[in-house]
Amino acid sequence: MVDWTEKYRPASLSEVRGNDTARDALAEWAETWPDHREAVVVHGSPGIGKTSAAHALANDAGWDVVELNASDQRTAGVVERVAGEAARSGTLTGGSGGRKLVLLDEADNLHGNIDRGGSAAITRLVDDAPQPIVLVANEYYEMSSSLRSACREIEFRDVSKRSIVPVLRDVCRREDVTYEEDALAAIAEQNAGDLRSAVNDLQALAEQDRTLTADDVVMGERDRTEGVFDYLDDVIATHSAREALQAAYDVDETPDDLLSWVADNVPKDYRGGELADAYEFLSNADVWLGRVRATQNYAYWRYATDNVAAGVAAARRHDHGGWTRYGPPSYWRKLGSSRATREKRDYVARHIAETAGCSMATARNDVLPFLRVLTHHCKNRELTVAMTAAYELDTEHVAFVTGSGETTNKVASIVADAEERRTDAAVDHSEGAFAGAVREDNTDEDSAADETTDDDEDTEADSQRGLDEFF
């Protein structure tokens, strides 16, 4: 069975429906790319045509497409090997001088896997690649700030009902499906701006009966995803245990996230014994989620959901009518506010891990605290310079480790000295295999320079003493 969403994917930007402004902005970005050479982030709700628009753009321009799904293949090594090579090379047969469009899908799913360096690798890629790059994301602000600031932004909005209906009408014509206008309008209404889901629903109904009526759409309406705020009201205030468990299957949240939502909001309604019982069930859910993380056996998720949904609903002893203002987990808000700090920490830890050959966890938990004590406020300047040189840190990250101000002259001079030290070290190691032979042919000159060489060796030993203390 051919998927109609793929079969009727727009072949040209002119065929993209419902986002004329965004479509024109994407075309303008491509036309002027040689002038600005910026990457672009295309973001918006799922199913509204972001990825299809990128493919259509490449087809219009005659560009080859190299697609990398950021959710499945997002390690630094994969990003640099696949997307990096594509971005830095052309093809003999491609259009526009062999230009390629590098398409990075699900770019907002990178932050949760930062230990493997995918986000940093993509940031470097968009800064340096001489090929056009399109990043596709559902949640723009889930991307790292450094990645957002490196790209141009184009927002795709939900597709309106009046834009969905003509697409459905055209698909029916091509597939020889007889339809009532009210049926197409009902499909568009049910899918709330999601064009892809609307086409999927049309295909599911048309394969049952090639004559589509409004009654068919009503009878065939599929279950819709329930919003998390509605679900909180269900499980905490109104539903029975069985109803709450059933409703949990319609919420587009993982058990981990569902636990965070319920745990943070249940105290707003529950009191005393019922609150204690609710948290007993939530702690049981956390145990099951721990087993999932330890064993990677996701069958345990069902037991976590049982406790979060049915357990919390069963703990209710009183009527909790009225309206309660629920909110996202406070833990998430704290993570958002501390993201910049965590990004600096992980940047430094990554450089430590690569240099020392240890894990990221060891670099974060053992080595970094040790460096902070040794270089606090740059009081031991020699050690601070040695650290900066060894791990190739810039002013931002030296300030993070030492606790000194990023814009102070002290930090700037340390970074400058570290850069000079790295340059000198590179020169010292650049003589190569023929250095010994050259010295044998110039023994007289070497003898005359013995005293100077001894002094240089003493100076180099002093300059490396700080590094020796680290290892």
138 near 44, Cβ under 8 Å? yes
Decide: residue 273, CB within 10 A, 0-12 exposed, 13-18 middle, 19+ buried.
Answer: exposed
Strands (E), 38-132: 39-43, 64-69, 100-105
For 139, residues 6+ apart whose C-beta sits below 8 A from its C-beta are 43, 108
**Which residue stretches of the chain have pLDDT < 70?**
1, 69-98, 109-119, 129, 218-227, 321, 331-339, 427-471
- How much is the pLDDT for 325? 78
Q: What is the CATH T-level fold of the domain 4-155, as seen in this structure?
A: Rossmann fold (3.40.50)
Q: Which of 29, 24, 2 is nearest to 13 (CA)?
A: 24
210 near 176, Cβ under 8 Å? yes
In 357-408, which residue ranges form alpha helices assigned H by DSSP? 360-362, 368-374, 381-391, 395-402
- How much is the pLDDT for 212? 84
pTM of the model: 0.48
pLDDT tens, residue by residue, 401-447: 998 887 888 898 999 999 888 888 776 665 554 444 444 445 454 44
Show me where the domains of the chain are located: 4-155, 161-219, 228-335, 341-429+450-470
pLDDT tens, residue by residue, 49-100: 899 999 999 999 998 888 776 445 555 566 666 655 665 555 434 444 568 8
- How much is the pLDDT for 111? 46
DSSP state letters, 141-189: GGS-HHHHHTEEEEEPPPPPHHHHHHHHHHHHHHHT-EE-HHHHHHHHH
Structural class in CATH, domain 161-219: mainly alpha
Identical fold at 4-155 and 161-219? Answer: no
Spatial distance between the Cα atoms of 338 and 344, rounded to a whole number of angstroms: 10
